[in-house]
Structure 1
Amino acid sequence: MVARVICFAVIFGLSAPAFAGEGPTGSDVKIMSFNVRYGTAKDGENHWDKRKEFLAETVKAFGPDLLGTQETLGFQRDFLAEKLKGFGVIGVGRDDGKEKGEMMALYWREARFEKTDGGHFWLSESPKDAGSKSWDSSLPRMVTWVRLKDKLGGKPVLFVNTHFDHIGKEARLKSAKLIREQIAALGKDCSVVLTGDFNSGEDSDPYKALFHKSGNDESPVVDSFRVAHPKREEGEGTTTDFKAGVNKGSRIDWIGVSRDWKVVAGEIDRTEKNGRTPSDHFPVTAVIRR
């Protein structure tokens, strides 16, 4: 039996972006962020080969229009691309900007969106240099982005995906600031969607650097989950260790959206089968509306 547990709330009177509190419509955009756990990890019964079909089923059950994955090796990127018929995909390895290392792969539903531009930058003092790292980062970390034309009209969408370092405290903060700067530069005249595993909790400096006001400047994105659920609760952790059930740890996987979107829903998808989850992170999802 597959169980799906969804977090959902209805609120009113928020400053933009508003929380609509209605059911989805045909023009809504469904977003998923999913750390899929790198496929060569020695995970025993939770090895990629034993859970990849379950993971693909979990993605398709939600039916995203935009999907950002983290810890994605090339063969995992290609597996999901094969399973997700009608999706465009972009993703390169963080070690060399080609096929070596984990990817921040992006997928978009081509019936809705058309890619007009795309690229990558590294979370370092030399963001154009593939494989570069700075500060106290333990590994090269990067961002993949695409600019998409919405076939239903409206502003183009800048879709950004990342994975912050798991050790470097300074690196996570500097990475958040760099992404905020790059969103402002790359996303002029765009609506924005940001997905990722940020390895940071909601009280952290990287979270504040991304979502809080800086001087007189509003952040270009807001935390879609917190818009949908303004009151923090226990059990919002997004890591799983492949075990089903609520996690009382930190919510480190986020979906940020620009203020011109209305947040219809924000969820932590706790899909499980026989007590196991499809990855060591829960996917997080959002439904947004212009």
Structure 2
Amino acid sequence: MLAALPVHAQPLRVMTFNVRLLTPNDGANNWDARRDLVVAMLRAEDPDVIGTQELFKRQGDEIVERLPQFVWFGEGRGGGDADEHMGVFYRKDRLRVRESGNFWLSDTPDVPGSRTWGNLYPRMVTWARFERLADGATFTLYNTHLPYRDSDEPARLRCAELIRDRLAKLPATERVVLLGDFNTTTESRVYSSLTNSLTDVWTAAPERSGPEGTFHDFTGKPERRIDWILVRGMKANRVETVTTHREKQYPSDHFPVIAELELAVR
């Protein structure tokens, strides 16, 4: 069992999860119908840290109200709290935040709500540098959600290049996790740009389970693998596409992805 392992051997459990935004158009799949299943899934999977996409403040607050071992932070993509967040959740009994912040995927990344490159909506990264309480090991996490239209591929590439350039400014020894909904396939230039310096845990982990695809539109039948966990300075031991459901109800229109990463003290 995990608790029996020495601290340095315990895996860091990292999840990416597009929770599906608050919208009245989802009918039987609206947030109020899915919320308890989301909470049950997170309780069962027990991640240490989660990068979410499409999260509204109400959703984040309702999750931590039911799972008080977590706290969350983030800012709306337009600035403030009124819009979708790249909300980051973490176990407060396992991790602490040393630094955190946001930047926007635009020509003016430090301007909240800024958008260029033809983006229909503001796109952003919420990031944090974490320390594991048990042993002091640290890592930096970036969480993002790239634009979704087929015509947005040039904008997605500009977004990826900005993220890549920001990551390149971190110390070479810094452990890095980049995760999110990238809205493109592994055949894209976005993927090749990012995996030139980062490792895709889905392809690298020796143990893999669940379907390869992640977006399923509430059908349970995934189409494309657009939700990724990419790392630097860490070894992926296991990765799973989580298909938790109750009859025809799913937590979201995306399957979450969870990875177990080695985070030994250097």
Q: How high is the TM-score relative to the length of structure 1?
A: 0.83
The gaps in structure 1 that reach 5 residues or longer are: 1-21, 213-218
Write the deviation string for residues 22-54 of structure 1: whole angstroms up to 9, x where unpaired: 989452100111100001241001111111110
Q: Distance in 1 between matches of 2:16 and 2:260?
A: 12
Aligned residue in 2 for 1:9:
none
Using the TM superposition, name which of 180-189 and 25-34 deviates more.
180-189
Q: Distance in 2 between matches of 1:77 and 1:47?
A: 15
Over aligned residues, Cα RMSD in angstroms?
2.2
Aligned residue in 2 for 1:176:
160
Q: Distance in 1 between matches of 2:27 and 2:210?
A: 30
Aligned residue in 2 for 1:79:
62
Write the deviation string for residues 92-144 of structure 1: whole angstroms up to 9, x where unpaired: 1001x211210000011122211111000001111001111111211100000
Q: Distance in 1 between matches of 2:144 and 2:229?
A: 11
The ranges of structure 1 where at least 4 consecutive aligned residues each deviate by more than 6 angstroms after the TM superposition are: none
2:110 to 102, 110, 128: 128
2:245 to 269, 272, 275: 272
Check if 1:238 corresponds to 2:214: yes
Q: After TM superposition, give the deviation of residue 80 of structure 1 in Å.
A: 1.6
The gaps in structure 2 that reach 5 residues or longer are: none
Aligned residue in 2 for 1:28:
11
Q: Distance in 1 between matches of 2:44 and 2:248?
A: 18
Given that 2:50 and 2:88 are in contact with CA atoms closer than 8 Å, whether structure 1 keeps it comes out as yes
Aligned runs of 1:144-223 on 2, under 5 Å? 144-153=126-135, 155-167=137-149, 168-186=152-170, 189-212=173-196, 219=197, 221-223=198-200
Q: Distance in 1 between matches of 2:2 and 2:92?
A: 23
Q: Number of paired residues?
A: 257
Check if 1:257 corresponds to 2:234: no
Aligned residue in 1 for 2:93:
111
Identity %: 37
SS in 2 for 1:226: helix
More helix by share: 2
Given that 2:207 and 2:239 are in contact with CA atoms closer than 8 Å, whether structure 1 keeps it comes out as no
